[in-house]
Structure 1
Amino acid sequence: MAPRKEQQIFRATLELLAGKGYEGLTVEGVAERSGVNKTTIYRWWPSKAALLAAALVEADLLAMEPPDTGSLRTDLEALVQGMAALLTRPPAADVAVAALGAAVHRPELAAAARRFFADRFAREEVVFDRARRRGELPATADPMLIMDLLAGAVWLRTVFRGLPLDDDFAAKAVSAVLDGPS
């Protein structure tokens, strides 16, 4: 499938998820919104869950490139700011909340959520590799734990508590993780 058409399908999938939830997401709706035949969608993805799983990982809407600022601290701050933008700006924020909610009750979507987070961590790992080479991070440091702490802070503050993030939230969160609470 042509990459542009694939992205149209993924965008339609995520927009319908954000607007109608998982129950309201249908392959027919995605086909109509993206301008392709539903048989084309089924040729590439055997189910609604498979389509959503692919969209979560591969959609440009949720794309993230790891920063390379030359410093672990500012790379992590940029990652936190990117997560915060993802969780506070529509339609990505609505997609994230709807996908999380749907994954709670559906094992196939829980697997897709795990794939999404594994993909994100694989992309972020380069930040830690560079930091180790620069001598900013000991070999014993656990990059996944660092990212879990930072991402957890963003998710908890924005999604579960519904609180805004101050302009200096990223710097404070990274400082708390790297330096300890002050």
Structure 2
Amino acid sequence: MDITFGTTASRLSAQKTTALFAFVLEAVRVHGYGALTMESVAAGAHVGKATLYRHWRSKAGLVTAALRHTRYAAARDIDTGSLRGDLGQFLDLFDEEDMRLQSDLLCALVQAAHQDADLRRALRALLVRPGENCLARILRRAVAREEIRPGTPALDYVMHAIAGAVLASHLVLTEPVDRPFLFAFAEAVILPALSD
């Protein structure tokens, strides 16, 4: 199965694309954004450099594409019939090891974005297109079920709040965020903000 990026069909299979994106994010997490190059990705992921540049014009574009490509495909099928249930199942997809890795990755990207204007612009563009992620689909369904009022201001900031909680764990908590913390955070902060 071919993946389409822009208007050109990719020669990368879905499996190869997923592996490529996983390699990119792991490389950023372990070595930092600054150490990542299109050449190192091509060599490490066994993909032609020309293929990379054909689909992603820059390193920032490749990294944000990798972020956008969720590996939580099961989240697309979440529909328990309630916002609380859907949000619970969404958060349940993150195990503690994954949260530690995601937290490390987010910290690396935030630090790099301060130094790299291209990355900063790409990450901002990613954040202002919330309709592309599975959490946004959960929220849209909750609006359709009339659990959330259309236009509720907090709708635009749910992912920001979750990412902020994960990042703050590096500064405030002695250990990475775990499931009980995320569930408590959702109950105390996210759900009340959405019900206003």
TM-score band, normalised by shorter chain: 0.7 to 0.9
Residues 13 and 52 of structure 1 are in contact (CA less than 8 Å); yes or no, is this contact kept in structure 2? yes
Q: Which range moves more in the overlay, 6-15 or 78-87?
A: 78-87
| Structure 1 residues 127 and 9: alpha-carbon distance in aligned structure 2, compared to 1, 3 A threshold | closer
The residue correspondences of 1:9-24 to structure 2 (distance < 5 A) are: 9-24=20-35
Match of 2:112 in 1: 102
Deviations along 1:18-53, one digit per CA (max 9) or x if unpaired, are 221122112221111111232332233233223223
Match of 1:72 in 2: 83
Instruction: Name the TM-score, length of structure 2 as normaliser.
Output: 0.71
Q: 2:100 aligns with which of 70, 73, 89?
A: 89
Secondary structure of the residue aligned to 1:2 is strand
Identity of aligned residues (%): 31
Match of 1:155 in 2: 167
Residues 28 and 105 of structure 2 are in contact (CA less than 8 Å); yes or no, is this contact kept in structure 1? yes
| Structure 1 residues 130 and 40: alpha-carbon distance in aligned structure 2, compared to 1, 3 A threshold | closer
Counterpart amino acid of residue 169 in structure 1:
F
Match of 1:41 in 2: 52
Aligned residues: 177
Secondary structure of the residue aligned to 2:104 is helix
**Higher relative strand content:** 2
Residues 9 and 34 of structure 1 are in contact (CA less than 8 Å); yes or no, is this contact kept in structure 2? yes
* Pairwise CA RMSD: 3.1
Residues 18 and 94 of structure 1 are in contact (CA less than 8 Å); yes or no, is this contact kept in structure 2? yes
Segments of structure 1 that go 5 or more residues without pairing to the other structure are none
Counterpart amino acid of residue 137 in structure 2:
V
| Structure 1 residues 70 and 29: alpha-carbon distance in aligned structure 2, compared to 1, 3 A threshold | same
Tell me how far apart the structure 2 counterparts of residues 84 and 97 of structure 1 sit (CA, whole Å): 18
Q: Which range moves more in the overlay, 78-87 or 10-19?
A: 78-87
Counterpart amino acid of residue 110 in structure 1:
R
Q: 1:144 aligns with which of 156, 163, 169?
A: 156
Match of 2:63 in 1: 52
Match of 1:176 in 2: 188
Residues 17 and 98 of structure 1 are in contact (CA less than 8 Å); yes or no, is this contact kept in structure 2? yes
Deviation at 1:75, TM superposition (A): 2.1
Tell me how far apart the structure 2 counterparts of residues 167 and 5 of structure 1 sit (CA, whole Å): 30
| Structure 1 residues 170 and 121: alpha-carbon distance in aligned structure 2, compared to 1, 3 A threshold | farther
Segments of structure 2 that go 5 or more residues without pairing to the other structure are 1-10
| Structure 1 residues 74 and 57: alpha-carbon distance in aligned structure 2, compared to 1, 3 A threshold | same
| Structure 1 residues 77 and 31: alpha-carbon distance in aligned structure 2, compared to 1, 3 A threshold | same
